[in-house]
Structure 1
Amino acid sequence: MTHFVVVGIGADGWDGLSHHAQAELESAETIYGSGRQLALLPDRLAAQTIPWASPMSEHLDRLIAGDGDDTVHLLASGDPMFHGLAASVVRRVGPENVTVFGSSSSVSLAAARLGWDLARTGVRSLVTGDPEVLIPALTDGARLLVLSRGADSPGRIADLLRRKGFGSSSMTVLGDLGGVDESIVTGHAHSWDVGDIPALNIVALECAGPALSNAPGRPDADYAHDGQLTKQPIRALTVCALAPAEGQMLWDIGAGSGSIAIEWLRQTRSGRAIAFEADLVRAARIELNAREHGVADRLTIAGSVPGALGGAPDPDTIFAGGGLDADVLESCWAAIESGGRLVANAVTLETERLLVAAHAEYGGELIRLSLERAGALGTMTTWRPSLPVVQWVVTR
């Protein structure tokens, strides 16, 4: 099998590489990299240099699919294991088939220039995502380092900050870090109008705006919906019952507005979810809500159940709300493996009977949630009860 050697090279080029990394490239027969990276190598190298074809991902796929026994050298930016090429290759071929030589990452260089403590600084990437992925991290006083996709990323970030009430946030764009053309530009989101930005840049944000929490139970007004919305207090209790954990897959059955899946995703950085919703208008609304809450990159929208369940990735956790019937419940139970969790909510007597029977057969915990809100009664105030919700929580 092909062995891959990934060498991280910074804007300071050949002179910034360690002696071991230089020796590795001097012994190489073939080196792949971007045109910018290959241009940093000295002409005296004997290796054949091959620029990545566009799209790079497909070129890399073809290279990995090869069955040769040779060694192939790849150039990457900075630290290849930090949102980088080496991490992608390792996932595909295994660590035993990859050797990595790292340089300082752009994040490390940015922190050094700014005097920021990396342990207290959030890092987000727009290389494969849209600016909305920043939304869960936005809160007053937060410091973020954002890996840009290109020269237009700072402007798009500024637009998002203004739209979300963070226009007073400080923005510092650090370009070509470590190179002779290194640049630093500082301004504020509300007045950001900098046109000459290097394509290779990282954006440092000092957030100034509302103090926001990612705790479940966001205001109902934060969601576009047609009434099919798990209300705020029940939603908070339901997401807690689902026990979000890193790297897991959630199925949200009969997703409605998508609020349960969205708030479940906001509790993790690596969780993924599938929202099953038969109504196309509601499906479009779920996509809108997911984008506005910064989790659209980790949420897939599928069709009606139980038909769409068959081709879906196996779940670790399932939430069943809208459209629950005996067939759907049976399909959900069959899909959950040992240790998996199922949470189902019922507001009608028919669905409640299903959950009572399931509890009797499979165990778990059955609880009834009743909420009352203060409301006007003439010139006085009284309690207005909401529809009670019966919730079944079970670990298989």
Structure 2
Amino acid sequence: MSIIGLGEDGLKGLSCASRSALEAAEIVMGPARHIGLLEGLACETLTWPVPFADGIAQLMGLRGRRVAVLVSGDPFWYGAGATLARHFAPGEWQSFPVPSTFARVANHLGWSLENTRCIGLHAAPLARLRPDLAPGVRVIVLLREGGGVRDLATYLDAQGYAETTLTIFEALGGPRQRITQTPAQELPDLDYQHPVCVACDIAGPGRAMSCARGQADDWFESDGQITKRPIRAMTLSALAPVPFEHLWDIGGGSGSIGIEWLLCHPSLRASTVEPRPERAARIAENAARLGVDHLRVVTGIAPDALAGLDRPDVVFIGGGLCDDLLHWIEENLASGTRLVANAVTLESEAVLSGAHGRLGGDLMRVAVSRSHPLGAARGWKASYPIVQWSVTL
């Protein structure tokens, strides 16, 4: 199987190797738009069905024949390449990329691609942009359809970034190419056509999320059950996320720990367990609004609610701490799993003290005080102290 990247310029943009693979194919399979870009194909053509997954079985049924699959641009950058490769052995396929849409846009605008955020939002919400919204940031966004351009401008306006300069590319590189540059707040009322990509030079007085862990508390909707910013920053430091790790956040509250964990790196995964349905719903809303809608939220009580979850690399217990839960974790999770637990009541402190005596690790007590009016002067008002235990099983 040959995976052939294709731009809107069709055959003109193909390398000699891509052309040779195409000429050698018995069957060319791809979206109708891509097949239409290649004039005079002598071989059999198959239109890739919708939904996309339905085409995989059809393609696998063609094993043993010379098949060329048409995809957009660079197959392995927000393309279909990785999905196709998962279903075939390494020797069964080869890939022939052309410059990606991101590369074409950067070359058109003179943007340094390594300093530009590139995001595919074909099947993802616009809120995925939220962590990247700050003045001076440059983002290139792939959209599913032309109507997404208006949605993007509206979203930026709602976030306080209506001054963002949008450069809208339709059918970039092909005969239908159209390029429109405009502030988001002055978007022309045009009928934007697929395939469409938008380069965003972010500007405006909107609020930006910090790159440090420990976001301000008011980023999270809550009923008061939230790990406050200083303790959250300390907790994320203790959790010490490493790329591709999976976190269990037990007793999610507002979801702030799981959300900030996911904000650390795009490869991270997290599952949050929260017994109260209204809080679980709020966690999902917070995650979606802050751009990490892939947070898995489970309504239930640990450890029963942990059944069926992918095994974690790290566990945080922020609520529901008890001896039974700790014993279940010790007995069921793999050696090397990291565990961090916070306690605020005397009873939960006693649980952590006993666990520390049994398993070791690091036990510390932290008290945070803030300035507060005291008559005509000011004094310190202390929050409840937090006891934190961290250990590697």
Please confirm whether the aligned pair reaches a TM-score higher than 0.5, indicating the same fold: yes
Is 1:26 aligned with 2:28? no
Write the distance in 1 (CA, Å) between the matches of 2:132 and 2:91: 35
Identity of aligned residues (%): 39
**How many angstroms does 1:187 deviate by?**
1.1
Per the alignment, residue 52 of structure 2 pairs with 56
Kept after mapping to 2: 8 A contact 1:372/1:384: yes
Write the distance in 2 (CA, Å) between the matches of 1:225 and 1:262: 13
Match of 1:263 among 245, 253, 260: 260
Match of 2:93 among 80, 98, 107: 98
Render the CA deviation track for 1:197-218: whole Å, top value 9, x for unaligned: 1211111111113454231111
Question: Quick one: which amino acid aligns to residue 282 of structure 1?
Answer: R
The 1:278/1:63 distance shift into structure 2, 3 A limit, reads: farther
Is 1:373 aligned with 2:353? no
Gaps in structure 2 of 5+ consecutive residues: none
Render the CA deviation track for 1:144-170: whole Å, top value 9, x for unaligned: 111111112221211221121211111
**How many angstroms does 1:65 deviate by?**
5.4
Query: RMSD value over aligned CA atoms?
Result: 1.6
Per the alignment, residue 74 of structure 1 pairs with 69
Kept after mapping to 2: 8 A contact 1:314/1:335: no
Kept after mapping to 2: 8 A contact 1:228/1:256: yes
Per the alignment, residue 85 of structure 1 pairs with 80
Write the distance in 2 (CA, Å) between the matches of 1:168 and 1:94: 48
Match of 2:106 among 107, 111, 115: 111
Is 1:277 aligned with 2:274? yes
Write the distance in 2 (CA, Å) between the matches of 1:373 and 1:228: 19
Match runs of 1:120-131 below 5 Å: 120-131=115-126
Normalised by the length of structure 2, the TM-score is 0.95
Write the distance in 1 (CA, Å) between the matches of 2:90 and 2:345: 52
Normalised by the length of structure 1, the TM-score is 0.94
Kept after mapping to 2: 8 A contact 1:143/1:205: yes
**How many angstroms does 1:90 deviate by?**
2.1
Per the alignment, residue 2 of structure 2 pairs with 5
Question: Quick one: which amino acid aligns to residue 141 of structure 1?
Answer: G
Render the CA deviation track for 1:104-136: whole Å, top value 9, x for unaligned: 110110011101111111111101211000111
Write the distance in 2 (CA, Å) between the matches of 1:358 and 1:339: 17
Write the distance in 2 (CA, Å) between the matches of 1:75 and 1:206: 31
**How many angstroms does 1:314 deviate by?**
0.9
Is 1:16 aligned with 2:13? yes
Kept after mapping to 2: 8 A contact 1:306/1:328: yes
Write the distance in 1 (CA, Å) between the matches of 2:331 and 2:29: 47
**How many angstroms does 1:334 deviate by?**
3.8
Write the distance in 1 (CA, Å) between the matches of 2:243 and 2:133: 20
Question: Quick one: which amino acid aligns to residue 165 of structure 1?
Answer: G
Is 1:135 aligned with 2:110? no
Kept after mapping to 2: 8 A contact 1:256/1:286: yes
Per the alignment, residue 389 of structure 1 pairs with 386
* Aligned residues between the structures: 390
Question: Quick one: which amino acid aligns to residue 262 of structure 1?
Answer: I
Is 1:350 aligned with 2:347? yes
Match of 2:146 among 151, 160, 167: 151
**How many angstroms does 1:357 deviate by?**
1.4
Is 1:202 aligned with 2:190? no
Gaps in structure 1 of 5+ consecutive residues: none
Per the alignment, residue 166 of structure 1 pairs with 161
Kept after mapping to 2: 8 A contact 1:325/1:351: yes
Which of 111-120 and 201-210 deviates more? 201-210
Kept after mapping to 2: 8 A contact 1:174/1:203: yes
The 1:192/1:42 distance shift into structure 2, 3 A limit, reads: closer
Question: Quick one: which amino acid aligns to residue 119 of structure 2?
Answer: R
Render the CA deviation track for 1:29-68: whole Å, top value 9, x for unaligned: 222100000112232422x1111111112322x2365484
